[in-house]
Chain A
Amino acid sequence: MENKNDLILEVDHLTVNYELEDETVEAVRDVSFQLGRGKTLGLVGETGAGKTTTALSILNLIPDPPGVIKGGTIKLDGDNVLDKTIKEMSRIRGKEVSMIFQDPMTSLNPVFTVGDQIAEAIMIHEKLDKKAAFEKAQEMLQIVGIPGERAAEYPHQFSGGMKQRVVIAIALACNPQLLIADEPTTALDVTIQAQVLDLMKELKKKYGMAMILITHDLGIIAETCDDVAVMYAGKIIERGSLEEVFNTARHPYTEGLFNSLPNIAERKERLKPIPGLMPDPTKLPKGCAFAPRCPYAKPSCIDVMPEERHFGGTHYCSCNAYDDESFHLEREDIVL
């Protein structure tokens, strides 16, 4: 177990619901994980698994209504952000924790220059005057690979990849300790994806910040992350270091993810997609949410909520199958 002081973020038993008029969506269910200083955590899962909601909770930015944080704690540097006042929260946002969003096309305000949008963060947190902040904004633009003089231009004058660089510049303008990147490259062209990802890796190293990278691309995780957490239907079903999860996956869903990838393990093998769809988040089964799609599921899985088990090191997994001590997945562990 890591020393508490080395942790930038500890999330414990976080539960978030979206309470609509006639139904409740259980978006995040009892999620716990930790992140060390300067480390990168990859949060993987399908669309709708609750990754973005988890991330937004850290900034206390869940849209309310309908979002309600039902329980749990989110300790940032030892302080629970859920106890903070609105004012304290806006001091944390952009300063301690920054976030990059999925779609750069819509995440910049169309009526302000990009320079002003970067400078705004600097003015709020570093108490600089407008001119100094704008100069620093130009520096930030250069850091993300955009000529400083383009600071006076508006978002519609930039391409998608460039916009995402601007978003990164806004996020990093005040040297945050933690950067949350919510599918930062999904909306970009493949060639641009690599550039933006490299830029993020480089800047992360330069500033020594921790990062949560949300993605459904296992390739990106393998390249960038130290730790991995796999989410399914609002729960983290497996987490551990990159090696633990990638080499010795324990959850049937994680196995399914790897099997549905074309380039991992042996190339000859046919792709094996996971059958079925994620359950309706308003009508989750009492037990394991993956049971209806799980090739190893027993009838009891539907009713029994799996406990989180420790598999040595930092490796945890929630699966009922391990009640049987001789159980192991079909996929063989990769021994390096």
Chain B
Amino acid sequence: MHRYVIKRILLLIPVIIGVSFMIYFIMDLAPGDIITQLVGEDASEEQIAALRHQYGYDRSVFYRYGKYMLGLLHGDLGTSYITKKPVWDMYITRLPKTFWLAIGASVVAIGLSIPLGIVSAVKSGSLIDNSCMVMALLGLSMPNFWLGLLLIIEFSLNLGWVPSGGFRGFSSVILPAITIGTGHMAVMTRTTRSSMIDVIRQDYLRTARAKGVSEHKVITKHAFRNAFIPILTIIGGQLCAGIGGAVITESVFSWPGVGRLIIDYVHQRDVPVVTGSIIMTTIITGVIHLAVDLLYAVVDPRIKGKYSRKGLRLAPRVKTKRGAA
């Protein structure tokens, strides 16, 4: 098990290198001269040349990337071109806000979708099931930013119950959390339902019923535990998406989170801020994925055996007869 965790963490390193390389180069692709944008029009030739040298823009992009990665090796995410502040500081002050939003959205989504998904599966084909599925489909099809704006119109402009944006305590979390949570909820309700429907047909539920387990327990204990793995995957994915920055929602609600940080500085072509923030996102996402994978083993003992085995392949692979031959 420890070996597995260590291996997984080590495997994050090439991913981080790949991601940083990709983002750094794409950002660098952008047309126009960053330095002239930075100093403004009235700067002297010498000032520009000095800055150009300081940021490495008198050399190739590989040099700049190399320098950046050398800093990263020492735990330095770089310094913003614009604010001149360390990217780490900028990121870390934004992270808690994004974190709370992600948690809020997950609470909204999990709290509603799992019960609804279970009921829909058990009463598959009923009126409840059909209405849940229609609602989920609507939730899935509704653009986040539109839902956010509609919520603002109704609950903050018309009713005045909650602030329309910014970060002002608990009440300001409600609308953005619902906005993100609705999309999550739609996906999760559908996943819960289909996963439960698969499990409901299994023979072992009949065994449970035959030994006198009440229907309620058959569903909540025997069936749900088995149906939980796909749901766990979705929860993990949604948490990652939330941490990575619910860019749109944060933008609609002027939420001072990571997503806004990235979008603001993308516009200004601040390469270190964007690259650094995305590296952080990749790391956090990787850790969440690992946590989810470890939780699989808690939920399903069959998976545990796979983790402790030696020579394990990290990506789940389908064994093929041809491959073996």
User: Shortest CB–CB separation between residue B186 and chain A, in angstroms?
Assistant: 27
Q: Does A101 contact B (CB under 8 A)?
A: yes
Contact with A along B177-207 (1 / 0, CB 8 A): 0000000000000000000000000111111
List the one stretch of B79-87, B212-220, B314-322 in contact with chain A. Answer: B212-220
B26 interfacial contact with A, CB 8 Å? no
Q: Are B299 and A94 in contact (CB under 8 A)?
A: no
Check A90–B203 contact: CB distance below 8 A.
no
Interface size, chain A (Cβ < 8 Å) = 33
A71 to B305, CA, bound (A): 49
Interface presence of A77 (CB below 8 A): no
A265 interface residue (CB < 8 Å to B): no
A86-B215, A90-B214, A101-B203 are contacts. A110–B209 as well, Cβ < 8 Å? no
Q: Check A110–B302 contact: CB distance below 8 A.
A: yes
Q: Does A24 contact B (CB under 8 A)?
A: no
The answer to whether residues A101 and B206 also contact, given A91-B212, A120-B211 and a CB cut-off of 8 A, is yes
Query: B211 and A106: CB pair below 8 A?
Result: no
Shortest C-beta distance, B127 to chain A (Å), equals 15
B202:A93 contact, CB within 8 angstroms: no
Assess whether B8 is interfacial by the CB under 8 Å rule. Answer: no
What's the Cα separation between A59 and B215 when bound, in Å?
14
Mark interface residues in A68-112 (1 if CB within 8 Å of B CB, else 0).
000000000000000000110011111100110101001111111
Q: Which one of A86, A154, A156, A170 contacts B211 once the chains associate, using CB atoms below 8 Å?
A: A170
Write out the residue numbers on chain B whose beta carbons fall within 8 Å of the beta carbon of A92.
212
Q: Is B58 in contact with chain A by the CB < 8 A criterion?
A: no
Contact, CB under 8 Å: A106 / B202: yes
Instruction: Find chain A residues with CB under 8 A from B214 CB.
Output: 87, 90
* A113 to chain B: closest residue by CB: B301
User: Size range of the interface on B?
Assistant: 20 to 34
Cβ-neighbour of A103 out of B203, B222, B305 (below 8 A) = B203
Residues of A within 8 A of B226 (CB): 109-111
- Residues in A neighbouring B213, C-beta threshold 8 A: 90, 94, 120, 124
What 0/1 readout, one digit per residue, does chain B (201-243) give for beta carbons within 8 Å of chain A? 0111111111111110000001001100000000000000000
Cβ B204 vs Cβ A154 within 8 A:
no
Contact A111 B212, beta carbon cutoff 8 Å: no
A residues in contact with B203, CB < 8 Å: 101, 103, 106-107
Q: How far is the CA of A108 from the CA of B305 in the complex (A)?
A: 18
Cβ 8 A contact of B206, one of A61, A98, A125, A173: A61
Is the pair A111, B225 in contact by a Cβ cutoff of 8 Å? yes
- Quote the shortest CB–CB distance from A151 to chain B (angstroms): 14
Residues on the B chain within 8 Å of A167, using CB: 207
Contact A93 B211 (CB under 8 A): yes
With a cutoff of 8 Å between Cβ atoms, the chain B residues found around residue A171 in the complex are: 210-211
Q: Is the CB of A95 within 8 A of B212?
A: yes
Name the distance in Å between A16's Cβ and chain B's nearest Cβ. 16
Are A93 and B210 in contact (CB-based, < 8 A)? yes
Interface of B is mostly: helix
- In the docked arrangement, what's the CA distance between A323 and B99, Å? 84
B154 at the A/B interface (Cβ < 8 Å)?
A: no
A141 in the interface (beta carbon within 8 A): no
- Residues of the A chain whose Cβ atoms lie less than 8 Å from the Cβ of B76: none
- Determine if A93 and B225 form an interchain contact, defined as CB atoms under 8 angstroms apart: no
Check A156–B302 contact: CB distance below 8 A: yes
Neighbour of B210 across the interface among A59, A87, A154, CB < 8 A: A59
- The answer to whether B301 and A99 have CB atoms under 8 Å apart is no
The reply to whether the CB of A8 lies closer than 8 angstroms to some CB of chain B is no
The interface residues of chain B lying within 8 Å CB-to-CB of A107 are 203-204, 206-207
Separation of A84 and B211 alpha carbons in the complex (Å): 16
- Is the beta-carbon distance between A98 and B211 smaller than 8 angstroms? yes
Q: Report the nearest A residue to B300, measured CB to CB.
A: A111
CB contact under 8 A between A108 and B215, given known A61-B209, A156-B301: no
Bits for A147-177, please: 1 = Cβ < 8 Å to B, else 0.
0000000101000000000010011010000
Tell me if B207 and A101 are in contact (CB < 8 A).
yes
Residues of chain B with a CB closer than 8 A to A117's CB: 207
Does A154 lie within 8 Å of B302, measured CB to CB?
yes
Known: A94-B212, A109-B222. A154 touches B206 (CB 8 A): no
Q: A140 CB to closest chain B CB, in angstroms?
A: 12
Q: Nearest-CB distance from A72 to chain B (Å)?
A: 21
Q: Which residues of A contact B (CB under 8 A)?
A: 59, 61, 86-87, 90-95, 98-99, 101, 103, 106-113, 117, 120-121, 124-125, 154, 156, 167, 170-171, 173
**B residues with CB within 8 A of A:** 202-215, 222, 225-226, 299-302, 305
30 contacts across the A-B interface (CB closer than 8 A): A59-B209, A59-B210, A61-B206, A90-B213, A90-B214, A93-B210, A93-B211, A93-B212, A94-B211, A94-B212, A101-B203, A101-B207, A101-B210, A106-B202, A106-B203, A106-B204, A108-B207, A109-B207, A110-B300, A111-B226, A113-B301, A117-B207, A120-B208, A120-B211, A121-B212, A124-B213, A154-B301, A154-B302, A156-B301, A156-B305
Interface contacts beyond A61-B209, A90-B215, A170-B207: sample of 12 additional A-B pairs, CB < 8 Å, sorted by A = A59-B210, A87-B214, A101-B206, A106-B203, A107-B207, A109-B205, A109-B225, A110-B301, A117-B207, A156-B305, A167-B207, A173-B211
Q: Top 3 nearest A-B pairs by Cβ distance?
A: A94-B211, A94-B212, A121-B211
